[in-house]
Amino acid sequence: MPWRGPSHADDFPTLGWQLLDWWAEFLPSPRDPVQPLVLTDDQARVILEWYRLDESGNRVYRRGYSRGAKGKGKSPIEAAKCIGELAGPVRFDGWDARGEPVGRPWGLCGDPRAWVQIGATSEDQTDNTWSVVHYFLNENDGKAADALRIDAGLTRCFIRDQPGAKLEPVTTSAQAREGQPITYGAIDESHLMTPSNGGVRLAKTIRRNTAKMGGSSYETTNGFVFNEHSVAESSQDAVRAGVRGIFADEVEAPRTVNGVEVALSAPDEVLLAALDVAYGDSWWVDKPRLIAEMRDKSNTWEDSARFFLNWNMSSSAGWSVVSQDQWQARAGVAGQVDKGFAGLSVADGQTFAALGFCARREDGRWQVEVARHEPGTGWVVQACKNAQAETGRPIMVDPRSPTAGIIPLLLEAGIELVEVSSAEFMAGCVAFQNDVLNDGLVHLGAGELADAIRSADVRPVGESWVFSARHSLADITPLLSVTLAGVGARVVVQEIFAY
């Protein structure tokens, strides 16, 4: 019998429902061992999506990651998944009489026996997940272990009736792991796994080993540091580049709340609202305590933002183009402006794009804002149409940048463009910096623009310089978009539009 079909717009076949019931039947709550393991709605949604099937019963995702704020509950959920991958209904076994998917454990119907590994750079790091595995199985006098017929040791778990079926922690001796026929790999704290400590090699080995067995792998991570080339960073880059078969669970705190930037200087209610988003329905988190930690002068804002707000951060303070104080001093409210210009910038690989505006205010200063900054480019054509209708002016673009890849689509849609020359772009970059330094510019406090400016770096061009996406610590399309818009806003010679 095939799948029953969707009963509502967001319906899809998944083994997640059966696994949620299986956990509640066998595993104890990490907060109260006499209660069953019941996930929050946020956690359950992640499980349902991760175990999603297509209508033929194939798993949609081959690997995935959860990047979440510290203390959100990533390790207990991953520990439960590891036990499920060892002995639970995680393999598609057909459709029941109602058209619902049914799961079976590894080791049946010709499948290999389960071999689950929890990989990290050290034993201490594997213990984040491994200690919860041990708790789930051995709490209540080993009730779950007995029911599932698992020998739960301190260093390995075995299924009694299936020699070779096991769950174990491993560290970064990747060469010794090559070729092992593992069916599931949990990659713990992937933000700490870098080329220098062997973590990248271990993660790649785990993925290769699961691939040949038709298995899967999953990362848990906090926010990462840009340009450390960690496993977490490379996985996010792959998702942004549109690589198929990767599931991403990543909920960040907003950069602004009711127009107020989320920063150490923000009032407690702003930080609390930001934490509410980052932690969702993780009811056990003491958010006022987190705010106290964030304000503790022994902690840096960069660390607080990474661990509590789930933001990826640069490895240094950044702000090499303009200082943070100078940028914050230029924050203001929207004033009376002319129609202004819009600028479009697309990131390498079309992973992100930004649409920015620049217009002259009545007080003579330039007002800049980022209207859209979103993954991919599917939204760009309509957004540019709307911007052109609003301003009555062409969209400013850099034809030497990755934006060139969608210029034909924009022209085909009837959008008028101005291709900024190298000299004009260079002058626009210098003018933007000068306007910030000399109080010639007002911005509206958008967090994505502040992030771009903090992360931005430059490359020399002759005796001058330009903003460089390649040399910057993170995506700077918001900065490039308002810079391009500023070129249009500053140029008054009408001949540049005659093409």
Span 288-331, pLDDT tens digits: 999 999 999 888 888 999 999 999 987 666 788 888 889 989 99
Q: 26-30, 177-181, 233-237, 449-453: lowest mean pLDDT where?
A: 177-181
Span 188-207, pLDDT tens digits: 999 999 887 888 999 999 99
pLDDT for 496: 39
Mean pLDDT of all residues belonging to the chain: 92
Span 136-147, pLDDT tens digits: 999 999 999 999
Number of residues assigned to the chain: 499
**pLDDT of residue 248 exceeding 50:** yes
262 HSE (CA, 13 A, CB side): 30
**pLDDT of residue 335 exceeding 50:** yes
**pLDDT of residue 123 exceeding 90:** no
Domain ranges within the chain, ordered by starting residue: 16-250, 256-308, 324-497
Percent of the chain residues topping a pLDDT of 90: 75
pLDDT for 259: 85
For residues 392-420, average pLDDT: 96
Higher pLDDT, 9 or 245: 245
pLDDT band of residue 497 (cuts 50, 70, 90) is: very low
User: Does domain 324-497 sit in CATH 3.30.420.240?
Assistant: yes
Record the tokens describing residue 160, joined without a space.
């009694």
pLDDT for 211: 96
The 3-class SS string of the chain reads: CCCCCCCCCCCCCECHHHHHHHHHHHCECCCCCCCECCCCHHHHHHHHHHCEECCCCCECCCEEEEECCCCCCHHHHHHHHHHHHHHCCCEEEEECCCCCEEEECCCCCCCCCCEEEEECCCHHHHHHHHHHHHHHHHHHHHHHHHHHCEEECCCCEEECCCCCCEEEEECCCHHHHCCCCCCEEEEECHHHCCCCCCHHHHHHHHHHHHHHCCCEEEEEECCCECCCCCHHHHHHHHHHCCCCCEEEEECCCCCEECCEECCCCCCHHHHHHHHHHHHCCCCCCCHHHHHHHHHCCCCCHHHHHHHHCCCCECCCCCCCCCCHHHHHHCECCCCCECCCEEEEEECHHHCEEEEEEEEEECCCCEEEEEEEEEECCCCHHHHHHHHHHHHCCCEEECCCCHHHHHHHHHHHCCCCEEECCHHHHHHHHHHHHHHHHCCCEEECCCHHHHHHHHHCEEEEECCEEEEECCCCCCCCHHHHHHHHHHHHHHCCCHHHHCC
Under CATH, which number does the domain 16-250 receive?
Answer: 3.40.50.300
Span 54-98, pLDDT tens digits: 999 999 999 999 999 999 999 999 999 999 999 999 999 999 999
Percent of the chain residues topping a pLDDT of 70: 97
Q: Can you tell me the distance from the alpha carbon of 299 to that of 293, in angstroms, rounded to the nearest whole number?
A: 7
pLDDT band of residue 499 (cuts 50, 70, 90) is: very low
pLDDT for 498: 40
pLDDT band of residue 219 (cuts 50, 70, 90) is: very high
pLDDT band of residue 472 (cuts 50, 70, 90) is: confident
**pLDDT of residue 408 exceeding 70:** yes
Higher pLDDT, 126 or 102: 102
For residues 40-46, average pLDDT: 97
Q: Can you tell me the distance from the alpha carbon of 234 to that of 417, in angstroms, rounded to the nearest whole number?
A: 34
For residues 411-434, average pLDDT: 95
pLDDT for 422: 94
